[in-house]
Structure formats: structure tokens, C-alpha cells
Copies of this chain bind each other. A is one copy, B any other.
Amino acid sequence: MKMINRLALIGLLCWLGSLMALPSHAAADREKLLKDPGVYATFVVFKMDEDWWKLDKTARVSAAAEVKAAFQKHSDSVITDTYLLRGLVEKADFFVRVHSPEILSNQNFLIDLMGTTLGKHLVNTYTFNGLSKQANYVPALPDDLKTAMKTPTDAGPKPYAIVVPIRKDAAWWITGQDGRNAMMTEHAAATTAYLKTVKRKLYHSSGLDDLDFITYFETAKLDDFNNLVIALERVEENRHNAQFGSPTLLGTIRPLDEILEILSR
């Protein structure tokens, strides 16, 4: 059994693949869209319908080529990441994370994707819309915690991604800024042990969806991620999670080509 090594290799390939997927000037845009506030993200979860699997292999392979063209056509207006859920999440095969400065661009890309031959076989299980913003609570953290929060995640492949949609209760929102700062300080302290192994990104969703936040994580160590979530369940803020997950999406980061190959087998 050489699973660990094989995993590391696959992870490395994914990581290299994702680095090489765009020409260098687009890669710069990618960095910017993943870092800047004011960027809109749409997470779209798909399941292939039953008829897809009854098409013959040739038809499925040529349909896959059409999908790549749709991604290519919109590559100057949106950046995309692809994730395989099949096997780990019921009723879902894969999801796409789409970023752009205008959510209209996300929609136009998705209309084209869903209009391809393969797209007509996609069942759209879940969609989450969110917006990146400046960090809310960091300014109020004590200095040592503020410093700790800057710990970069370890380099190297992180083959797993987890998406956890969150909705807060009314009591959370009505709590004053000081009260929320105190709870978020406790929250931040609970995460410090996992900053090196779990990468994270937050999106704001109030009004754009039936959520307040979309939390997105990448890691190579799911046991660390499990401990991180338990640590966050133990802080006062957890009393205010009207929704945490439901669904939790646990998948593997895989290049579009690999996902299309799996769907064409």
C-alpha cells in the first residue's frame, strides 16, 4: 500500500496543473481576484443526470471538448476552479468556483456552460453566491493574535477543499460590535493551531443568497481540519450558527480535464 505517496503525487500534479492552467498575465489576474475585496464568487454544484451515462463514450468525449471551449471563451472575464465531489457527497458530482468583479460575468459563463451538450445533462444541485470584503474583525484583535493570524499556510499541495455555508441567527447580528469582537477574538484564537495546514477564504452572502457567509478551506490534512471545526464548535460564537454546513461540501481539487475524463469514462 503506497497511498500516502500516491496521494502526494496526485496532489502535486493538481497543484502544478492549477499553476500552469492559465498564461502568465491571466495568472496575475487570478492572484488579484482571489485577494481583492469586491470580487463576486459563485459556487455551482452539479450532478450528471441519468441520461448522461447512457450516451456512448464517443458522444461523452466530444461533449467534454465543448465544455473546455466554454471555459476558454470566458477566461478573460472569470477565473474558475474545479472540484470533484463524486463519491464523497451524495447527489453531487463536481462543483465550479467562479470569480469575477461582476456577478453578471459569472452568470454569462454559467449560461454558456449549461448550454453545452454536457451542460444540458447537468442537474444544478446547489448554488451559493458571495462577495469578498475587507476583514471585519481583524482590526479589533489583540496584537499577538493579529500577528499569529498572519501565519502563512505551509507550501505544498493541498488536495482537499471543503465549503461550509453559514447563516447567523438574529441575536448575532443584533449583538453590538464589541460583543461580536469578543466572540470573534475567541474564534480567531481557536484557529491558530491550524493556520499552517488549513488555508481559508471568506465570502459574504447576506441578500445574495439564503446565507450570511460562504467559508472555503483547502488542506492536505483532513484530521487537522476536523480538529479545527471541533475547536470552532467549542466557542460562544457557535451558539449563533443557525446554519453551519447543510450541505458541507468535501471534495478533491482536480483540474477540469481530469473531471471531464472521469465523466467520459
Contact = CB atoms under 8 A, between A and B. Distances in A.
A151 to B, nearest CB: 20
Contacts of A185: none
A228 B247 contact: no
A100 to B, nearest CB: 6
Interface residues of A, number: 86
A66 interface: no
Contacts of A159: 104
Contacts of A89: 127
A158 B89 CA distance: 29
Nearest to A84: B107
Contacts of A51: 50
Contacts of A49: 50
Contact of A124 (B90, B102, B115): B90
Q: Which 6 A-B pairs have the closest CB atoms?
A: A87-B110, A207-B229, A53-B120, A173-B233, A87-B107, A206-B229
Interface of A: 1, 3-4, 7, 10, 29, 38, 40, 42, 44-45, 49-51, 53-54, 76-77, 84, 86-91, 100-111, 114-115, 120, 124-127, 129, 131, 133, 159-160, 162, 164, 168, 170-171, 173-174, 204-210, 212, 222-223, 225-226, 228-230, 233-236, 238-239, 241, 245-248, 250, 252, 262, 265
A248 B208 contact: yes
